Amino acid sequence: MVSHQMKVKDAIRYLSELPEDEEIVIAWWRQDSFYSFEPSLTDEEWNERISYIEKWIDWSRDHEAIGCMLEEAKNTR
């Protein structure tokens, strides 16, 4: 599982190592997805906040939830 902040170039490099027909789950958020902040975040503010979030966010529940959904999907076939 990979879940961390990365630059687009790093994501491209990582994804280019995978087979093109491999199924994956991927999620990302761009700075402009959070347009509700007034005033808008500067690039520097965005990067600082993302670095903070990366230190404290716990993605294990998301991983567990996907695992549960995979099991549920298996049982519905």
Does residue 1 have a pLDDT over 60? no
Read off the pLDDT of residues 7-63 as tens digits, 9 standing for 90 and up. 889 989 999 999 999 998 888 888 888 878 778 888 899 889 888 888 888 888 888
Task: Kindly state the tokens that stand for 15.
Answer: 């994804």
- Domain boundaries defined on the chain: 8-75
Element containing residue 65 per DSSP (H, E)? helix 60-75
* HEC string for the chain: CCCCCCCHHHHHHHHHCCCCCCCCCCCCCCHHHCCCCCCCCCHHHHHHHHHHHHHHCCCHHHHHHHHHHHHHHHHCC
The residue type of 22 is: E
